[in-house]
Structure 1
Amino acid sequence: MLDKAKKYSWIMSAISKLKWSTKKEVITHFLISKKKYIPKKKTNADVDNILKCALCPNMCRFDCPVLRVEKSETSSPSGKARIAYLVEMNRLNFSDDVIDLMYKCASCDACKEWCPFDFSLGELLIGVRKDIVEKGLVPSSLTIFKEKLEENHTIYEEGITSLGLEAKRGDVLYFAGCTTLNKRKEVANANIKILEKAGINFTTLSNEWCCGAPLSILGFGSDFKKFAEHNIKAIRESGCKTMICGCPECVHTFKELYPRIGLKLNVEILHTSQFLLRLVEEGKIKMKHLKEEYVYHDPCVLSRKLNICEEPRELLKNIPELKLKEAQFDRKETRCCGMGEMLGVTNPKISLEMAKNRVSGLREACNSIVTACPTCELAFKNVNKKLRVLDLSELILETMEE
């Protein structure tokens, strides 16, 4: 109730100085008129909130990375919300162009930072995508993607779902994630070596399935639940008390998305940056001098959805002589790498241009980049293979004392 009061405080402030009779008239008219703007038929989409987004002054458009590439008002957050509202009200058909637009979002939540209602357009669009799924209008490329994911249990064609370690019970479970296993194996190796050197009783899953986030993002709700149920069973059987993961999307899925569908893990869930900082504070990790400069890139999910901005920086500050630079847009005002929320699959050209924009901004501060998300690292490498991009764990391992 308190959260709702905060969201609507600006509206209440606007009418607070009116006479009581006028206030009553305004509120009564709103409640009666509101019914005209909500569909009679039940939908998966949150039409009430989509409408509010569509009618907003649209300040968020100045920070939308998709709009910055597309340069079309239709691609702005409120532009997408207006189209979404019209199709949910059956005033516009789900044409191919409209369906394509509903996937042109990285769900980076840059818009949310500006939003007076505290909306995430990315989350609102998931409901619309669920309706697209139910109507059988999903683009064939995404249907094929889903089928391969269900078959291979990972989003990548390499099909790697294991680190090749002996399955055992342990206090700490290291969950690598699809991108780390298939595209950034060196990051997984770095984390394993750090845990071994620190003397941590850890384990991994012998057959690690995708966390399921891509299925949720694309609107395949029932399929997402199957992956969630499998993962919860596997994680419980590991006997862990704490689960760590270097992929912010996985952490967000385990902590936030699973409980939303009635599934909850009764274990501590941490991003690797949080766990490694804990090891430093406990004296289990000590680092040697490193006379280098790095700019830190805040991953969108880590900073805006998980509110983890300072832990990676504190970890880096524990490396003697390392000079940490800051980008112009950092922390919760970070800029998206371009591959968030499956945009690299649904709109690869937009994704690449967004990555170029972010790399350009980061290199204004420093040529060497360190971040805490394998997907961001992959996006930046797609811009320039020679670009020096390290994961936080790789840098920590490099500087660890023997």
Structure 2
Amino acid sequence: VYARQMYNNAAIVKGLHLANNLINGCALCGQCEELCPENFSMAELCLSARQDMVERGVMPPSAHEFALEDMEAASGPECALSIRGGEGGWLFFPGCQLAASRGEQVEALYAWLRDALAGQGEFAPGLERGPVSLLLRCCGIPARWGGREELFARQAQELRQQWEGLGRPRIMAACSSCLSVLREVLPEARALSLWEVLDALPWPEGASGGADRGTLLTMQDPCTARHDTAWQDAVRSLARKAGMIPEEPPQGRDRTACCGYGGLVWCAQPELADAMAGHRAGGLPHAALSSCIMCRDRLTGSGKPGLHLLDLLPQLAPLAHGLEPEKGPGLSERRARRAALRRRLARVWLGQELAEPAAGRLDLVPGLLEELERRHILLEDVDGAVAAVEAEKAYFVDAESGHRLGAWRPRNVTFWVEYTEEDGRWLLHDAWCHRMRVPGSGGVQENGCCGEA
């Protein structure tokens, strides 16, 4: 039935494309294929439908544009960084979301890996010691999930150039989505999971700070590691070494369920993604142990106590997070944390002092930040909108409230801000956006209808 609806959606020339929500509401996680007795894959069907919509120019920009902008920012000059440890050896690829959520742990783990892998000779069959490089950036999978194959190919080419510039090291990845991409676009790098490397190294003395020994933790396998038994086994081994009791969930390993991050559902249909996170959290009997940072952040955001695997490593014990439900950072904070991690690592390992971001003049009324997060609006964008509106005096004043209102379009999105001035600072009362070109907004006069909506 779904396949027929999607075919009809593609065949329509005029009229409502009723299957757009179905197509963009798939996490592309592959669980359906595992559960279906005929192994029918809705993921393949939905991804091909997205690629077709992009190719024909009918994919609404509002569906994935914010996620694609975040991908570009994570790989851009403010957040991306490469540190060459030496010729060959290893490349630690933490992934852009781990860098955004657990930058301090990434920083400490990189320093520890450099020491642990120094020297020559094997530390496990097929695994040799050597210098450790680091690459902070996005792997490009949001472009693949969004059906934008040309953009994905460009990201892959950038990855290859940076990998070659680092001396063609073997890659260890902390993100299963990154690992799937790296194995596809850089097969020569013989990428494997960070957990396999850590499990093969001598276990350091000390206790983990995330939970008491003997704690029962239900495993949450990331959906992009669904068929990666080496990943799954290493995670369970590390949990046991830390003194935990890893429990298999009712649906785990090759039948694991997505947390709602996969396939850009979190961007296209946030309410559906939240429901997916809540459903997955409800299917885990005890506190969750995740080896994917987005699984951990989304499950705890649903009220499920849980840890990320880094919280169990003795070498990172002072930086461990506890079992109490703790929401991960918001969209604006994630962007800021990536940039802060880049500045710290550049100072420590490259001797570069990078400029700190300029302090803003913007304050928010209570509760507005949560609403901006829900609308996928970054603080830097509303700050830029107010600054642009004020510079051009392109606002009007609401007669009843006295609030100033104005619009700004820096790219294919129009931001609207409602604010007042108080003691030389701007107090933001509300903000919203349209991912379209609104004629006249931001001082740009255009003819015709809104277009690109």
TM-score by length of 1: 0.67
Hey, what does 2:173 align to over in structure 1? 245
| 2:232 equivalent among 289, 309, 320 | 309
| 1:95 equivalent among 9, 13, 16 | 16
Describe the shift of the 1:218–1:323 C-alpha distance in structure 2 as closer, same or farther (beyond 3 A): same
| 1:189 equivalent among 87, 92, 107 | 107
Pair 1:370-2:293 in alignment: no
Hey, what does 1:213 align to over in structure 2? 141
TM-score by length of 2: 0.60
Hey, what does 1:344 align to over in structure 2? 266
| 1:112 equivalent among 33, 36, 40 | 33
Hey, what does 1:80 align to over in structure 2? 2
| Residues in 1 aligned to 2:314 and 2:206: alpha-carbon distance in whole angstroms | 10
Hey, what does 2:432 align to over in structure 1? none
Greater Cα shift, 289-298 or 337-346:
289-298
Hey, what does 1:222 align to over in structure 2? 150
Hey, what does 1:175 align to over in structure 2? 93
| 2:62 equivalent among 134, 141, 165 | 141
Displacement of 1:134 in angstroms is 1.9
Displacement of 1:287 in angstroms is 4.3
Q: How is 1:255-274 mapped onto 2 (pairs within 5 angstroms)?
A: 255-256=183-184, 258=185, 264-274=186-196
| Residues in 1 aligned to 2:218 and 2:71: alpha-carbon distance in whole angstroms | 37
> Match for 1:383: what amino acid?
S
> Match for 1:224: what amino acid?
F
| Residues in 2 aligned to 1:94 and 1:250: alpha-carbon distance in whole angstroms | 38
| Residues in 2 aligned to 1:295 and 1:133: alpha-carbon distance in whole angstroms | 39
Displacement of 1:135 in angstroms is 2.0
Hey, what does 1:286 align to over in structure 2? 204
Residue deviations 1:167-188 (CA, integer Å, cap 9, x gap):
4435110112111122232442
| Residues in 2 aligned to 1:371 and 1:96: alpha-carbon distance in whole angstroms | 37
Describe the shift of the 1:396–1:214 C-alpha distance in structure 2 as closer, same or farther (beyond 3 A): same
SS of 1:136's equivalent in the other structure is: coil
Displacement of 1:371 in angstroms is 1.2
Q: Confirm or deny: 8 A CA contact 1:299 1:371 kept in the other structure.
A: yes
| Residues in 2 aligned to 1:225 and 1:96: alpha-carbon distance in whole angstroms | 28
Q: Confirm or deny: 8 A CA contact 1:242 1:267 kept in the other structure.
A: yes
> Match for 2:36: what amino acid?
C
| Residues in 2 aligned to 1:388 and 1:395: alpha-carbon distance in whole angstroms | 15
| Residues in 2 aligned to 1:146 and 1:399: alpha-carbon distance in whole angstroms | 30
Q: Confirm or deny: 8 A CA contact 1:107 1:120 kept in the other structure.
A: no
Q: Confirm or deny: 8 A CA contact 1:309 1:331 kept in the other structure.
A: yes
Structure 1: runs of 5+ lacking an equivalent = 1-78, 259-263
C-alpha RMSD of matched pairs (Å): 2.9
| 1:275 equivalent among 197, 222, 233 | 197
| Residues in 2 aligned to 1:345 and 1:143: alpha-carbon distance in whole angstroms | 6
Hey, what does 2:128 align to over in structure 1? none
Describe the shift of the 1:84–1:231 C-alpha distance in structure 2 as closer, same or farther (beyond 3 A): same
Pair 1:202-2:132 in alignment: yes
Q: Confirm or deny: 8 A CA contact 2:170 2:191 kept in the other structure.
A: yes
Displacement of 1:223 in angstroms is 0.8
| Residues in 2 aligned to 1:180 and 1:135: alpha-carbon distance in whole angstroms | 34
| Residues in 1 aligned to 2:308 and 2:261: alpha-carbon distance in whole angstroms | 16
| Residues in 2 aligned to 1:388 and 1:190: alpha-carbon distance in whole angstroms | 24
| Residues in 2 aligned to 1:226 and 1:191: alpha-carbon distance in whole angstroms | 29
> Match for 1:222: what amino acid?
E
Q: Confirm or deny: 8 A CA contact 2:27 2:262 kept in the other structure.
A: yes
| Residues in 2 aligned to 1:397 and 1:190: alpha-carbon distance in whole angstroms | 12
> Match for 2:299: what amino acid?
F
More helix by share: 1
Residue deviations 1:204-233 (CA, integer Å, cap 9, x gap):
13xx33211111111111011001001011
Residue deviations 1:77-124 (CA, integer Å, cap 9, x gap):
xx4322123334x26867343222211111121111133453432122
| Residues in 2 aligned to 1:117 and 1:255: alpha-carbon distance in whole angstroms | 27
Hey, what does 1:358 align to over in structure 2? 280
Q: How many residues align?
A: 300
Displacement of 1:248 in angstroms is 0.5
Structure 2: runs of 5+ lacking an equivalent = 119-130, 318-453
Describe the shift of the 1:317–1:122 C-alpha distance in structure 2 as closer, same or farther (beyond 3 A): same
Describe the shift of the 1:329–1:146 C-alpha distance in structure 2 as closer, same or farther (beyond 3 A): closer
Displacement of 1:341 in angstroms is 1.8
Q: Confirm or deny: 8 A CA contact 1:302 1:309 kept in the other structure.
A: yes
Displacement of 1:342 in angstroms is 1.2
Hey, what does 2:48 align to over in structure 1? 127
Describe the shift of the 1:117–1:354 C-alpha distance in structure 2 as closer, same or farther (beyond 3 A): same
> Match for 1:169: what amino acid?
G
Displacement of 1:398 in angstroms is 5.2
